[in-house]
Structure 1
């Protein structure tokens, strides 16, 4: 097992605490497309993403995936389900190979939650999740499809050129056809440029930002 003090929330644990933590934890490797947990499963473990990228999504009544967030290491994943003792509200799937630390939640709660450093890190993590959910609500309810595309390009110009249009559309919860129409509008208005190799360049940052603020 790796040096657990490299994980911020455990960095100040004493040697005895580290040994107790090892006794209630396992580290597992996952491959691309493997599922960490499914929407509706009971939360028996607290999960800490140590490496790789984890995609969180919900599935609607039509069976379509609604993208929520990509988690990067080092990060707690869906810890609210542990605290509230509710089923996982979404599915977590690896979009790259990775590693996760799985901690027996009941034993973690019994032995470690009185530690102020651990409690503070958990509170910070929950606060960051609230911000993520606020952004999800804004993207899905407030922003139009054109605004979602503009915001994604503005914030992720380099990433945009690394992904396929189908992947970008999936991240934005829109169809590839809708994405193509939005890009065509931006190109026509000379806000962006797309060359013969399909590489995108932002020409007018201020005009692009106006579309989603």
Structure 2
């Protein structure tokens, strides 16, 4: 896919006119990167605004014992960069970001992007929307880590990310949710007994989405 077609494929740039897309091409580049490639580290400074065109990325932190603390997944057609201050020409990473599968990455010179687009009131609303989505992810993270019990954690992941839940091994899900594998099994069996989910050949099927959402939001 050409750079121009790549930009046109991303929702973030849908409002741009063709001449603006051509201008954006002049300050952008695309890369195909392999699984496990680390895009940036926590607190690292970057001069690029980075989007995930295709593939899957993972945000995580490392604790003082060198253990990986999973935060959330980032899916295709999404902004990867953490925008915390729109007045700077560099971007500081909130977390480590690595690729969970082979992916295509779009990089845009952030200083030039600010001058050519944001300062001309282009894509400002889109950037604010992306910042709001990041805030929602962090809010969900706080709930998951400090407020929700095991049942709520599992219900929320099933309701919001069923595809990933069925893709991962149960052990990996337990690590993500910070619960024991036995606890995960008990919760799934409880949800199945209550006819909220079914499990067929190891894959979860949601039978009552409203009730599952209610459990995850309690």
- Shorter-chain TM-score: what band? 0.7 to 0.9
- Answering whether residue 186 of structure 2 is matched by residue 184 of structure 1, we say yes
Match in the other structure for 2:94 = 89
C-alpha distance in structure 2 between counterparts of 1:7 and 1:14, whole Å: 14
C-alpha distance in structure 2 between counterparts of 1:95 and 1:57, whole Å: 12
Structure 1 unaligned regions, length at least 5 = none
Match in the other structure for 2:108 = 103
Q: How does 1:191-202 map to 2 (within 5 A)?
A: 191=194, 197-200=201-204
* Number of aligned residues: 209
C-alpha distance in structure 2 between counterparts of 1:12 and 1:65, whole Å: 38
C-alpha distance in structure 2 between counterparts of 1:29 and 1:145, whole Å: 38
C-alpha distance in structure 2 between counterparts of 1:129 and 1:36, whole Å: 17
Task: Report the TM-score when normalising by structure 1.
Answer: 0.82
C-alpha distance in structure 1 between counterparts of 2:107 and 2:23, whole Å: 14
Change (3 A) 1:202 1:87: closer
Task: Report the TM-score when normalising by structure 2.
Answer: 0.80
CA contact 1:43–1:81 (8 Å) conserved in 2? no
Match in the other structure for 1:124 = 129
Match in the other structure for 2:75 = 72
CA contact 1:47–1:79 (8 Å) conserved in 2? no
The structural deviation recorded for 1:199 is 4.3
CA contact 2:28–2:108 (8 Å) conserved in 1? yes
Q: How does 1:1-213 map to 2 (within 5 A)?
A: 1-3=3-5, 4-81=7-84, 83=86, 85=90, 87-157=92-162, 159-172=164-177, 174=178, 178-184=180-186, 186-187=188-189, 190-191=193-194, 197-200=201-204, 206=211, 209-210=214-215, 213=218
CA contact 2:50–2:108 (8 Å) conserved in 1? yes
C-alpha distance in structure 2 between counterparts of 1:144 and 1:74, whole Å: 31
C-alpha distance in structure 2 between counterparts of 1:98 and 1:60, whole Å: 27
